[in-house]
Amino acid sequence: MDKDRLLYLLENDKSGQNSPAEADELEAWYRSAETRPALTDGLSADGLSALENKIFARIERANIESQESVEELPVGKPGWFAWGKVAAAVLFLIVAGIGLYMFQRQSGRITERTAFGETRVLTLPDGSEVTLNGNSVLSYDAEWSDLREVLLEGEGYFNVVHTKDHRKFRVRTGADFSLDVLGTQFNVSKRESGTRIVLDEGKVRCNLGDSEKDTLVLRPGEMVQFRKKPSDYQRERVETGLYSAWKDHKLVFKNTSLREVAGILRDTYGLETEASRPELLDRQISGSVPTDNVDLLLQGLAEASAVTITRDGDLLTIESKSR
């Protein structure tokens, strides 16, 4: 095989455009190398051990560096968050969280749940509205005191009304994480893949821990996410609209990997995904798919990523189209 042919086949493989014959040709090239000798067979025992240790040291070092890069992020300074100045604004948040926060069902507590794939609009005692996404639970005290606090597991879009006495509205997603807002609209969800907050407009203060100092104030267009510990958060600027589209019965992707999409399908629709080859899940898709009809959604996904998706009950199987 010449280099142009190989590069052609590899490009096609990436986009899933290889015909079965071309896929076989690439496979044959990959396999043909098996006849070459193993480099490590010709090494001395010490050389082998040195190589084993060298690569392992590289791995350990990279693992440590990636941990440090998360820890080094600056923590927002509290104090410049002027509650009184927050105009009614659209605030958009997504919170997705690992770990299950156990609800303590108390007397006088109201709990609302949605099924997989169901979305429902709720009105809270103060007149605020919450749109709950599928597979989500919202609970709150029937009688609020000074603080308007709700507990969320899953995902929801909030439209919070501003009270005359400037009472705080708090969304809690777990013992270790909550957000404070005042008279805005926002979207919160807590899922298995991690916790994510995206702010569309206005301001929100994230409470990362027990200490008053552990707070982070988000600016419009910013996203904060963490997997487990709120203090290990990462902050970046994003296109916020991508994260709220579900409310309008669609999902919008921009260079989103199928792996991430699989996470959404699991969290919101209760669908598990398996891939015939793991690298298929690294394919990225861009575009918009409707969420009203799950089968239509899957069809859109399959077309956008040039794979076939077969559904058997709650199990999806992703396969390369060319095979």
Partner 1 sequence: MQTGDSEAFAALYRKYWRRLFDAAYRRILLREESEEIIQEIFVDLWAKRETLLISVSLEAYLFGALRYSIYNLIRSRKIREAYLEHLLQTPGEEGNYIEDRLHYDELARALESSVQNLPEKLRKVYMLSRKEHLTYKEISEREQIPVDTVEKQMGRALKILRENLKEFAWAWIVLEMWDLYP
Among 236, 248, 282, 292, binds partner 1 (CB under 8 A): 282
Among 13, 112, 129, 149, binds partner 1 (CB under 8 A): 13
Using rule CB under 8 A, residue 293 touches partner 1: no
Using rule CB under 8 A, residue 252 touches partner 1: no
Would you state the structure tokens that stand for residue 166, as one six-digit string? 């400037």
Handedness of CA 188, 97, 117, 249 (dihedral sign): positive
Output the smallest distance, CB 198 to partner 1, in A. Answer: 20
Closest to partner 1 by CB, 47 or 241? 47
Among 126, 236, 239, 274, binds partner 1 (CB under 8 A): 274
Using rule CB under 8 A, residue 24 touches partner 1: no
The 3-state DSSP class for residue 267 equals helix
How far apart CA 250 and CA 297 sit, in angstroms, is 9
β 129-132/120-123 pair status: antiparallel
Using rule CB under 8 A, residue 49 touches partner 1: yes
Using rule CB under 8 A, residue 37 touches partner 1: yes
Q: If we measure between CA atoms, which residue out of 131, 207, 218 comes closest to residue 173? A: 207
Beta carbons of 106 and 240 less than 8 angstroms apart: no
Using rule CB under 8 A, residue 279 touches partner 1: yes
How far apart CA 51 and CA 58 sit, in angstroms, is 11
Return the residues of window 161-200 that contact partner 1 according to CB under 8 A: 192-193
Closest to partner 1 by CB, 59 or 110? 59
Residue type, 256: T
How far apart CA 273 and CA 323 sit, in angstroms, is 19
Return the residues of window 52-111 that contact partner 1 according to CB under 8 A: 52-64, 66, 98
How far apart CA 261 and CA 165 sit, in angstroms, is 42
Closest to partner 1 by CB, 55 or 147? 55
Looking at the DSSP assignment, which residues form a beta bridge with residue 222?
237
Provide the binding-site residues for partner 1, judged by CB under 8 A. Answer: 1-3, 6-7, 10-11, 13-14, 30, 33-44, 46-64, 66, 98, 192-193, 227-228, 272, 274-275, 277-279, 282
